[in-house]
Structure 1
Amino acid sequence: MLNNIPIGALFGALVFLVILSAFFSGSETGLISLNRYRLRHMAKSGHPGAVRASRLLKRPDRLIGLILLGNNFVNILASALATIVAIRLVGEAGPLVATAVLTVVILLFAEVTPKTVAALHPERIAFPASFILGPLLKAFYPLVWLINIIANGLLRLLGVSTRDVDSSHLSSEELRTVVNEAGTMIPRRHQKMLLNILDLEKATVEDIMIPRNEIAGIDLEDEWTDIVDQLTNSQHTRLPVYRGGIDNVVGIVHLRDLLALQQHSELDMERFMDRIREVYFIPEATRLNTQLLNFQKQRHRMGLVVDEYGDIQGLVTLDDILEEIVGEFTTDPGTTLKEIHPQEDGTYLVDGSANVRELNRIMNWSLPTEGAKTLNGMLIEYLETIPEPGTSVLLNDYPLEVVQTGASAIKTVRVDPLYRKRRHKGIE
């Protein structure tokens, strides 16, 4: 019967089958190459092609079954037609010629080219293809279902489940990679803020707290005139109140509560004590992301950090956590800027008491933040001794030179951030 069909018609059928094969191959690569998170966003926005593609990808086993069924059918049929054409043209050598020629044709025009295009532009291929594959899946569903039953049975024997294929979630590190690779789609400053939010779970309140020896507060054992003067000139809106020392903390006072009394000259010790609020204590091991939520739930903006024995170690505020996300946004005179002294040669003299995380945030450095919290502690922990002046170390490509030491601590360190830039540019 096929021998009676004109050669031209057979060639036309072969071209059509190669086009079908290219369609199935490109559709498979395009649909599998789609960015699933972008696809979800587009589907939620009502994009028709995204909705159809998302529906197909909910059961990839059925989708692949349909595509492979169609692709193998057209390839085998094309092979049969090519063999008939070759036999009629070249005789007994026809099957060999047909196999060689069809292999090259299918490889170039039905595999490599459409799959490459689909991998480079998955949405342009997948969305239109889903318009055809959806009805095809319904039309051939019984056959696809039977193939899937057999294939899924084999997969179960190998310990592979086809269920919950869409339940995978990004880890924080994977999300970090997504943000970093967003490029110009997300402004650099916004990328940094997003990455800083992810970093909150890596740091604790101990990493950013104001040490206890730097806490500014009201000592009830001072003269009343001294307390009023401190309240009047305070740079902070909230101050701890204690007797003799921070370990005997009484509470927290908000200067806003005292403003009206002070304006009407009605502020005295009795009224001052009435305005003292309860102290909010925070365990030093609390993660920053957790504490941010705790501040919101407890409706506090400041708390005292305590260790496992209940001893006060420092103070942390909501602003301190927010600065970990958005960067420095306060003109508080207590900021680490006063501990940094720029030099004419591009280096910086930094006080050993400077907090390493604040240095990184303010100066955009990348000093190691694991372990000790201060520059002094970081160097002593690394060297395992109090070094002599002139000692130099290289940490994270930052040369750190000990300039001045005391009996029990490093007082001043010289940091050369330009060395890191020169090294990264390959002009060291």
Structure 2
Amino acid sequence: MDDIPLSALFSFLAVLIVLSGFFSGSETGLMTINRYRLAHRAQQGDRGSRLAHGLLQRPDRLIGLILLGNNLVNILAASTATVIGLRLFGEAGIAIASGVLTLVILLFGEVAPKTLAALYPERVALPASYVYWVLMRLLWPLVWLVNLIGNGLLRLLGVSPEDAAEHNLSSEELRSVVAEAGAMIPHRHQTMLLSVLDLQKSTVEDIMIPRNEIVGVDLDQGDAEINQQLTGSEHTRLPLYRGSIDELVGVIHVRNVLKLASAQEGPLRGEDLARTAVEPYFVLEGTPLNQQLLNFQNQKRRIGFVVDEYGDIQGLVTLADILEEIVGEFTSDPATRIRNVYRDTDGSYLIHGSVSVRSLNRSLGWKLPTAGPRTVNGLILESMETIPKPGDRLVLNTYDVEITETRGNAVRTARVRPAAA
């Protein structure tokens, strides 16, 4: 190499340093690029994204190719720098060349390109994928041999390189992705996505209408009472029962009742309603909401009766209740969102003891404890550890609660004053 001019050696060394920076930076860019955005762009037909996505399907092969190129370039750079050092400074030039080259490679071949790639991974990774696609085919036998040896060593440690292509996210990890999306996902959509993920944390008991609040038609009533109840009903589907909800007959739809009424003269009879009723659909308590949503879809149902392990009806859950867990309440006035909750002019709320604590928190933005009892009555009884009397007061998570009415051993109504009121 003594015949090669120093200018040519310096030029060759500069090219090698640039190539070292390319390999280092492109490795960081490809490994840090957003895989989901990359997959979306690849599906949209972007060629660079398709190439990068294909290379990342087997990262062990890609890393092998990058390291082959990077090590080859760095070894050539070290050899070239040594020759330059010897020709300029003699034997001392070896140490000088090693020190200078280490600093240059660190700055221009590692730190700067990797920092740039970490900040702008797509700008670095997508153009580099064209180069690696060509190199992978030119150097495939060598890459295959290197990976064969490397993967063999990994298998001895119980690591399978084929599993590296799997990037499954847990629900909690997906929550973090959605929560950190920021402005990329509108806040309303972000809230809905998080609500979908939260469905598995709640069960049908959390949102069901309690047994004592189920509105249905008692067939043991007279025909006049039945027709009056049907006329004034606010619901499109009503349970039919005889005497009590435990003697459930089925569920009727108001649309079918109207057809039946138009087809005959005179008031409807209980027997007529029973013939149009659909067989009741039962839901086992403890069923997660995400599973129940699928069950409603598979069974083509919109209403289900929640039963305990003994088969006793505990409440009623509807498809609309689950959808409200995702999209929020369908009404905008807080005072009308929850039945048996009444807001007074002083900012306090008169609340029936059967109201769900969870519904209060969701609709009014409160932070009452939800780890224990599900109703206001249960929460008060657990907190006081005694049977309350009208006029008794307590504080629940900074909410001032006053018992206003009791019935038997239960709280019928209570007045709650939020901390800010």
1:356-367 correspondence runs (5 A): 356-367=357-368
Deviations 1:362-400 (A, max 9, x none): 123444433321133234445655568332242xxxx13
Q: Residues 383 and 170 (structure 1 numbering): CA distance in 2 closer, same or farther, change over 3 Å? A: farther
Alignment of 1:136 with 2:135, yes or no, is yes
Find the counterpart in structure 1 of residue 297 from structure 2: 296
- Residue 312 of structure 2 aligns with which residue? 311
Aligned in 2, Cα 1:347/1:84: closer, same or farther, shift over 3 Å? farther
Unaligned runs of 5+ in 2: none
Query: Residues 90 and 307 from structure 1, CA distance in 2 versus in 1: closer, same or farther, beyond 3 angstroms?
Result: same
CA apart distance, 1:86:
1.7
CA distance in 2: counterparts of 1:335 and 1:347, whole angstroms: 16
SS in 2 for 1:164: helix
In the alignment, is the contact (CA less than 8 A) between 1:56 and 1:63 conserved in 2? yes
- Determine the C-alpha separation between the residues in 1 that align with 2:204 and 2:75: 67
- In the TM superposition, residue 261 of structure 1 has moved relative to its aligned partner by 4.1
Percentage of matched positions with identical amino acids: 56
Using the TM superposition, give the Cα deviation of residue 337 of structure 1 relative to its aligned residue in structure 2, in angstroms. Answer: 5.3
Confirm whether residue 192 of structure 1 aligns to residue 195 of structure 2. no
What is the match of residue 178 of structure 1? 177
| Partner Cα distance (1:382, 1:163) in 2 | 55
With over 3 angstroms needed to count, the CA separation of the structure-2 counterparts of 1:128 and 1:172, relative to structure 1, is same
Relative distance call for 1:303 and 1:31 in structure 2 (3 A) is: same
Q: Which SS does the other structure have where 1:163 is aligned?
A: helix
Deviations 1:43-91 (A, max 9, x none): 1221111111111111211111111111111111111111211222222
Q: For residues 262 and 200 of structure 1, what CA distance do their matches in structure 2 show?
A: 40
Query: Which residue type is aligned with residue 418 of structure 2?
Result: D
Deviates more, 1:349-358 or 1:183-192: 349-358
Q: Does 1:275 align with 2:262?
A: no
Other-structure match for 1:414:
416
Deviations 1:385-426, CA, capped at 9 Å, x for gaps: 5568332242xxxx132311636334425252649xxxxxxx
Deviation sequence 1:213-262 (CA, Å, 0-9, x none): 11111112222211111110111111111121111122212111121444
Name the structure 1 match of 2:152. 153
With over 3 angstroms needed to count, the CA separation of the structure-2 counterparts of 1:314 and 1:118, relative to structure 1, is same
Who is 2:395 aligned against?
392
* 1:256 alignment counterpart: 255
Partner of 2:52: 53
User: CA 1:384/1:81 → structure 2, altered by over 3 Å: closer, same or farther?
Assistant: farther
Seen in structure 2, the aligned counterparts of structure 1 residues 103 and 4 have a Cα distance that, compared at 3 Å, is: same
Q: Is the 8 A contact 2:220 2:243 kept in 1?
A: yes
Question: Shift of the alpha carbon at 1:309?
Answer: 0.6
Q: Following the alignment from structure 2 to structure 1, what is the Cα–Cα distance between the partners of residues 9 and 299?
A: 79
User: How far apart in 2 are the matches of 1:159 and 1:106?
Assistant: 35
Count of aligned positions: 413
Q: 1:92: how far off?
A: 2.3
2:325 alignment partner AA: E
Specify every segment of 5 or more residues in structure 1 that has no aligned partner in the other structure, as ranges: 420-428
CA distance in structure 2 between the partners assigned to 1:4 and 1:56 by the alignment: 42
Does the 8 Å contact 2:368/2:396 carry over to 1?
Answer: no
Report SS of the residue matched to 1:248: strand
Tell me the equivalent position of 2:223.
224
The structural deviation recorded for 1:276 is 2.4
Which of the numbers 336, 360, 382 marks the counterpart of 2:338?
A: 336
Cα RMSD of the aligned pairs, angstroms, is 2.3
Other-structure match for 1:28: 27
Distance in 2 separating the partners of 1:310 and 1:392: 37
Given the superposition, is the C-alpha separation of residues 31 and 59 from structure 1 closer, same or farther in structure 2, using an over 3 Å criterion? Answer: same
Q: 1:211: how far off?
A: 0.7
Aligned position for 2:17 = 18
Q: Is the 1:258–1:267 Cα contact (8 Å) retained in structure 2?
A: no
Aligned partner of residue 283 in structure 2, secondary structure: strand
Q: Residue 316 and residue 142 in structure 1: after superposition, are their counterparts in 2 closer, same or farther (change >3 A)?
A: same
Cα distance in 2, alignment partners of residues 386 and 131 from structure 1: 76
Which residue number corresponds to residue 209 of structure 1? Answer: 208
CA-CA distance at 1:208 after TM superposition: 0.7
SS in 1 for 2:20: helix
Query: Which AA in structure 2 matches 1:304?
Result: F
Any idea what the Cα deviations from partners look like across 1:308-359, whole Å, max 9, x if unmatched? 1111111111111111111111599985154142554x56554433212212
Tell me the CA shift for residue 273 of structure 1: 3.1
The reply on whether 1:116 has 2:115 as its aligned counterpart is yes
Residue pair 1:350, 1:415 contacting (<8 A) in 2 also? no
For residue 161 of structure 1, report the CA deviation from its aligned partner.
1.4
**In structure 1, what is the equivalent of residue 374 of structure 2?**
373
Q: Shift of the alpha carbon at 1:137?
A: 1.5
User: Match of 2:66?
Assistant: 67
Say if 1:105 and 1:276 are closer, same or farther in 2 by CA, change over 3 A: same
Whether contact under 8 Å (1:205, 1:287) holds in the other structure is: yes
Distance 1:271 1:278 in 2: 15
Deviates more, 1:380-389 or 1:244-253: 380-389
Q: Distance in 1 between matches of 2:366 and 2:67?
A: 53
**Corresponding position of 1:426:** none
Q: Is the 8 A contact 1:240 1:252 kept in 2?
A: yes
